[in-house]
């Protein structure tokens, strides 16, 4: 067991788990933050995407040991002072989700993209989101929502 | 209080102080299209509608929500007739019940079709009761009152009561037997673009899927099964697994060994540490080549004729030009993004289950059997489903979770790994198709012969069920062709294997219609006819399909020349009561197929929820094109070779074509929408590849050949 300190959605947490435990299971099972999803366990689908120090990170393939001292933001942490993130607002406006399972990961990729590119092109969106698998077919609405969020100042 | 019952319309009202108005309906109807079920009389999904004194309208939805929209379209239909304030609508997911809600099975694109009448009647009945309650209170003529936006208004005086204010009184009003339903031209909600009610929760991480269930005292379970189909545990040593920190206990059930732990990760680690000796059983040497060869051998058998007309043998040789072709399709997986999972809590006198299932009543049945409990002691809560596509019609994971919980006497969450999910699917069956056809001197199709060789899903589930070797569902999409062809025969050669198979969105139609629409295209080219014109001249007996074919051609600009390097293909299908035509635009560069645009026209009678409809068509296209372009589960040493998305890639956002959906409202019989978009997509793309390159794709996935 190892004691690991990290910040999750702005809250300091000290975690005592096996150090090889992927961040995903710490979030879901230890901290009860179930918005981040398990899809493949090998970093191939993006359902588990979170931000680690602002960078999109596959939490299923990130041992919690490597998160010591880091700042993690999950889908639950995007809301600020009771206001949804502009990307989430755009998601709702475009009615993006179908089953919804991959959407937290999609949204985490989209919010990180908009921080880097205020007005992403379609090619930027392809680069940033092609690692997020959706089996239901929300891709076109995802693209529309990212453009809408960019228009509405989504680089929050 | 039950106030009225009759054979056709069984309606209950529970009223009284504080309870508000509670209505429930049963209406027998034909509800079939389910895998393995013969079309027989069963109850349509029920409607439970509650209006409480605060004005909240609660609609209990007994169908499973997996993105196809019942949590939105059920309330849309009710609210339309009820004249409810959309903001007052709340949805509750029904637990499983043997008969309270009719069939809770969610599949076969039946949701709207089987609920429409009930939902409208529920809304209209409640509306009439609310109006009657208001008229009584004002002591005025009922006809001087009307309902609008959650209130009843007395026209001459403009006085009004909200539904909340009337709910208790309305619960005591006699139930009208035939409340009037609205003329579709007066619809304000149905047919409009309404955002899905679960969207906010799905965009904030609040939506609760099966995997998100947490129960006090619950342990996390990971179950290891024999990778070989039909194999099982010979012996195992759990010493190392028990030493993994967090592992609490290990139990063997009839198909594997489960590790129970304090966390998912510990359970997975423990499972990997198990030392298991497998008895691989009789299928250890099965592989895709052998299956392919077997299908080829079986193709020389005479098929059981499913449908025929005219004199096929004569017509095939008498035509001016004849064509023969063999088509092959591989096994493919469902792979919904949420892997299979189930939480079960088996106690001595009860069993409680939380599961993302398309068939919660079967889950209840199976849990009752395993525990020996009466069904009323088995509670099945249906969570949100992270995709289904037919995989969640089966409840194998429920069986496992119940057995594990029973054996360990503790509540457990069984979570399949992605590898478990991909290697223990009920795959879409592989198949082989022999086709021959002939056109006459004027370019008309005069003969069509289709022999389908492949496994029967129904036979695998109940061996010996088809005494004559004919499983009619295996020919769905090959029989009942929309085209008028004077001489035709469609036959089936059952060719079963040990590979587990099941219903994959649109079931056999996704393969049979691929073959039919591809071969129609081949014959059109043989006849030197435009593939659109070739189809249209044979569609007079299918006016609804003809209309969508014409619509899609117009919207796609069929006659307009495409830039060099692009090809255009068309395909169509009538299935699940709907009529769909699709035009694909593709390019092929350096062997890579790119689908640029899909234009779709669809007639499902009335597009009840156009937003959901459009999403379902986009989803159907993604699923169908992923399968056509890349999807293949190969069998090696008796097991699935692919186990995760690295080896079984899905279509990604950068590969997604533009999709344009055109709705043709015919106001004819309602059709389903979850599945009909799937079958035409692959043939439209392959026909477009032919148009672009002259290369005919007769074996999927496309990646193998281009």
**pLDDT one-digit tens code per residue, B516-539:** 999 999 999 999 999 999 999 999
Q: Are B631 and B98 in contact (CB under 8 A)?
A: no
Check residue A41 and report its DSSP letter: S
Whether A38 and B264 lie within 8 Å, measured CB to CB: yes
Write down the pLDDT at residue B118.
86
- Range 43-82 of B in CB contact (< 8 A) with A: 66-68
B605 vs B51: CA distance, rounded Å: 30
Of A28, A39, A139, which has the smallest distance from its Cβ to B337's Cβ?
A39
Of all residues in chain A, the one with the smallest CA distance to B218 is A29
Write down the pLDDT at residue B22.
78
**CA B76, B82, B88, B91 torsion-angle sign:** negative
Domain boundaries, chain B: 11-194, 210-281+340-415, 288-332+427-704
CA B416 to chain centre: 21
For residue B104, the cross-strand partners are none
User: Which of chain A's residues have a Cβ under 8 Å away from the Cβ of B339?
Assistant: 38-39
What percent of chain B clears pLDDT 90, i.e. is strictly above it? 87
Of all residues in chain A, the one with the smallest CA distance to B334 is A135
Whether B653 and A76 lie within 8 Å, measured CB to CB: no
Write down the pLDDT at residue B705.
66
Of A1, A32, A42, which has the smallest distance from its Cβ to B644's Cβ?
A42
Write down the pLDDT at residue A155.
66
CA B555 to chain centre: 28
- The stretch B345-365 carries a mean pLDDT of 97
Q: How far is B298 from chain A (nearest CA, A)?
A: 34
* pLDDT tens, position by position, B173-232: 888 888 999 999 999 999 999 999 999 999 999 999 999 999 999 999 999 999 999 999
CA proximity to B294, closest of B423, B422, B429, B424: B429
End-to-end CA distance of chain A: 37
B608 vs B180: CA distance, rounded Å: 19
**CA B181, B187, B193, B194 torsion-angle sign:** negative
Cα-Cα-Cα-Cα torsion B63, B67, B70, B76, nearest 10 degrees, comes to 170
> Exposed e or buried b for every residue in B308-345, given b needs 16+ CB within 10 A?
eeeebeebbeebeebbebbbbbbbbbbbbbbbbbbbbb
> Exposed e or buried b for every residue in B483-493, given b needs 16+ CB within 10 A?
bebebbbbbbb
- Range 617-636 of B in CB contact (< 8 A) with A: 618-623, 626
Whether B214 and A32 lie within 8 Å, measured CB to CB: yes
User: Which of chain A's residues have a Cβ under 8 Å away from the Cβ of B656?
Assistant: 137, 139-140, 143
Check residue B585 and report its DSSP letter: E
Q: Residue B148: phi, psi to the nearest 5? A: -160, 130
Other Cβ atoms within 10 Å of B283 Cβ, number: 18
Of A38, A95, A125, which has the smallest distance from its Cβ to B211's Cβ?
A38
Q: Which helix (H) or strand (E) holds B221?
A: strand B219-225
Q: Residue B669: phi, psi to the nearest 5? A: -50, 140
Task: Decide: helix, strand or coil at residue A117.
Answer: coil
Is the minimum CB–CB distance between B143 and chain A shorter than 8 Å?
no
pTM score: 0.95
For residue B308, the cross-strand partners are B489
Q: What is the 3-state secondary structure (H, E, C) of B405-449?
A: HHHHCCCEEEECCHHHHHHCCCEECCEEEEEEEEECCCCCEEEEE
* pLDDT tens, position by position, B114-147: 889 889 999 999 999 999 999 999 999 999 999 9
Of all residues in chain B, the one with the smallest CA distance to A141 is B615
* pLDDT tens, position by position, B410-419: 999 999 999 9
In the predicted model, is pLDDT for residue B9 greater than 60?
A: no
Domain boundaries, chain A: 2-76, 86-151
Of B336, B622, B653, which has the smallest distance from its Cβ to A129's Cβ?
B653
CATH class, A86-151 region? mainly alpha
Of B204, B269, B418, which has the smallest distance from its Cβ to A75's Cβ?
B204
Best CATH choice for the domain B288-332+427-704 from the list 3.30.365.10, 3.60.20.10, 3.40.980.10, 1.10.3720.10:
3.30.365.10
- The stretch A28-54 carries a mean pLDDT of 98
B106 vs A110: CA distance, rounded Å: 32
Q: Are B161 and B151 in contact (CB under 8 A)?
A: yes
Is the minimum CB–CB distance between B418 and chain A shorter than 8 Å?
yes
Other Cβ atoms within 10 Å of B304 Cβ, number: 17
Best CATH choice for the domain B210-281+340-415 from the list 3.40.800.20, 3.40.50.720, 3.30.365.10, 3.20.20.80:
3.30.365.10
Other Cβ atoms within 10 Å of B100 Cβ, number: 16
User: Which of chain A's residues have a Cβ under 8 Å away from the Cβ of B387?
Assistant: 99, 101, 135-136
Distances (CA, A) of B589 to A122, B495, B685: 21, 37, 15
Whether A37 and B386 lie within 8 Å, measured CB to CB: yes
Write down the pLDDT at residue B47.
65
Write down the pLDDT at residue B30.
39
- Range 643-662 of B in CB contact (< 8 A) with A: 644-646, 650-654, 656, 658-659
The secondary structure of chain A in percent helix, strand, coil, rounded to multiples of 5, reads 40, 20, 40
Write down the pLDDT at residue B704.
66
Write down the pLDDT at residue B8.
36
- The stretch B434-439 carries a mean pLDDT of 98
Name the more confident of A68 and B34.
A68
Q: Tell me if the domain spanning B11-194 has CATH number 3.40.50.720.
A: no
* pLDDT tens, position by position, B35-76: 333 333 333 335 688 898 999 999 999 999 999 999 999 999
Give the number of C-alpha atoms closer than 13 A to the C-alpha of residue B662, restricted to the C-beta side: 18
Whether A91 and B203 lie within 8 Å, measured CB to CB: yes
Beta carbons within 8 Å of A28's beta carbon, 6+ residues apart: A34, A36, A38, B264
Write down the pLDDT at residue B28.
42
End-to-end CA distance of chain B: 67
Alpha-helical runs (H) found in chain A: 23-25, 86-93, 103-116, 122-129, 139-151
Write down the pLDDT at residue A1.
74
ipTM of the complex: 0.98
Work out the burial of residue B6: count CB atoms within 10 Å of its CB; fewer than 13 is exposed, 13-18 middle, 19 or more buried.
exposed
Return the CATH superfamily for domain A2-76: Beta-grasp domain (3.10.20.30)
Domains B11-194 and B288-332+427-704 in one fold: yes
* pLDDT tens, position by position, B381-408: 999 999 999 999 999 999 999 999 999 9
Distances (CA, A) of B524 to B434, B438, B534, B687: 18, 10, 6, 11
Write down the pLDDT at residue B37.
35
């Amino acid at each position: 067991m190892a004691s690991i300190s990290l910040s999750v959605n702005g809250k300091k947490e000290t975690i005592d788990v096996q150090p090889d435990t992927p961040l995903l299971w710490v979030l879901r099972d230890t901290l009860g933050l179930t918005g981040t999803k398990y899809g493949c366990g090998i970093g191939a689908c993006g359902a588990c995407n979170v931000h680690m120090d602002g960078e999109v990170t596959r939490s299923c393939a990130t041992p919690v040991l490597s998160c010591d001292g880091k700042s993690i933001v999950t889908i639950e942490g995007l809301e600020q002072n009771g206001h949804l993130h502009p990307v989430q607002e755009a998601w709702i406006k475009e009615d993006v989700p179908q089953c919804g399972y991959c959407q937290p990961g999609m949204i985490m990729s989209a919010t990180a993209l908009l921080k880097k590119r205020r007005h992403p092109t379609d090619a930027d969106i392809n680069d940033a989101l092609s690692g997020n698998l959706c089996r239901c077919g929300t891709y076109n609405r995802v693209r529309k929502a990212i453009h809408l969020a960019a228009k509405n100042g989504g680089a929050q | 209080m039950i106030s009225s019952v009759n054979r056709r319309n069984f309606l209950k009202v529970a009223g009284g102080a504080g309870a508000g108005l509670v209505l429930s309906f049963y209406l027998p109807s034909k509800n079939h299209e389910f895998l393995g079920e013969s079309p027989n009389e069963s109850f349509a999904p029920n409607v439970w509608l509650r209006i409480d004194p605060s004005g909240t309208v609660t609609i209990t939805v007994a169908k499973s929500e997996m993105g196809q929209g019942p949590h939105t379209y059920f309330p849309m239909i009710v609210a339309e007739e009820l004249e409810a304030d959309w903001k007052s609508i709340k949805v509750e997911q029904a637990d499983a019940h043997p008969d309270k809600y009719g069939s809770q099975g969610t599949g076969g694109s039946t949701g709207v079709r089987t609920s429409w009448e009930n939902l409208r009647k529920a809304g209209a009945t409640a509306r009439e009761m609310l109006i009657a309650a208001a008229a009584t209170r004002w002591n005025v003529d009922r006809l001087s009152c009307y309902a609008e936006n959650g209130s009843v208004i007395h026209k001459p005086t403009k006085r009004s009561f909200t539904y909340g204010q009337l709910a208790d009184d309305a619960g005591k009003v006699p139930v009208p037997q035939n409340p009037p339903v609205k003329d579709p031209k007066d619809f304000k909600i149905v047919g409009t673009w309404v955002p899905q009610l679960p969207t906010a929760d799905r965009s904030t991480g609040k939506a609760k899927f099966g995997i998100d269930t947490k129960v006090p005292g619950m342990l996390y379970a990971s179950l290891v099964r024999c990778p070989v189909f039909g194999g099982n545990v010979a012996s195992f040593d759990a010493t190392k697994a028990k030493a993994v920190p967090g592992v609490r206990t290990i139990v063997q059930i009839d198909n594997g060994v489960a590790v129970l732990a304090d966390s998912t990760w510990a359970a997975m680690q423990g499972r990997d540490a198990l030392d298991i000796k497998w008895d691989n059983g009789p299928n250890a040497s099965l592989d895709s080549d052998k299956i392919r060869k077997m299908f080829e051998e079986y193709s020389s058998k005479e098929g059981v004729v499913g449908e025929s007309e005219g004199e096929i043998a004569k017509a095939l040789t008498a035509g001016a030009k004849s064509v023969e072709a063999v088509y092959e399709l591989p096994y493919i997986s469902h792979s919904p993004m949420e892997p299979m999972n189930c939480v079960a809590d088996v106690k001595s006198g009860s069993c409680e289950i939380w599961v993302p299932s398309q068939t919660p009543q079967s889950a209840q049945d199976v849990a009752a059997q395993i525990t020996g409990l009466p069904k009323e002691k088995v509670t099945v809560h249906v969570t949100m489903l992270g995709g289904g596509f037919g995989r969640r019609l089966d409840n194998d994971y429920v069986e496992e979770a119940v057995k594990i919980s029973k054996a360990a006497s503790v509540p457990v969450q069984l979570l399949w790994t992605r590898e478990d999910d991909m290697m223990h699917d009920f795959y879409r069956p592989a198949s082989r198709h022999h086709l021959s056809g002939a056109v006459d001197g004027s370019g008309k199709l005069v003969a069509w012969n289709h022999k389908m060789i492949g496994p029967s899903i129904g036979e695998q589930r109940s061996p010996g069920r088809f005494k004559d070797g004919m499983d009619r569902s295996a020919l769905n999409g090959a029989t009942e062709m929309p085209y008028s062809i004077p001489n035709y025969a469609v036959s089936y050669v059952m060719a079963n294997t040990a590979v587990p198979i099941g219903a994959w969105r649109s079931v056999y139609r996704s393969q049979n219609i691929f073959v039919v629409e591809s071969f129609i295209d081949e014959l059109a080219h043989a006849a030197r006819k435009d593939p659109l014109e070739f189809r249209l001249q044979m569609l007079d007996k299918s006016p609804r399909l003809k209309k969508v074919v014409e619509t899609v051609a117009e919207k796609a600009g069929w006659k307009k020349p495409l830039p060099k390097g692009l090809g255009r293909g068309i395909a169509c299908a009538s299935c699940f009561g709907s009529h769909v035509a699709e035009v694909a635009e593709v390019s092929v560069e350096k062997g890579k197929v790119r689908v640029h645009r899909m234009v779709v026209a669809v007639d499902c009678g009335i597009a009840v929820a156009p937003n959901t409809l459009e999403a379902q068509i986009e989803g159907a296209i993604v699923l169908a094109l992923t399968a056509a372009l890349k999807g293949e589960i190969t069998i090696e040493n008796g097991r699935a070779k692919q186990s995760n998305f690295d080896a079984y890639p899905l279509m990604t956002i950068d590969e997604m074509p533009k999709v344009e959906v055109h709705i043709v409202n015919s106001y004819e019989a309602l059709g389903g929408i979850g599945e009909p978009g799937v079958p035409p997509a692959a043939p439209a793309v392959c026909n477009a590849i032919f148009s672009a390159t002259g290369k005919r794709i007769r074996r999927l996935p496309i990646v193998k050949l281009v």
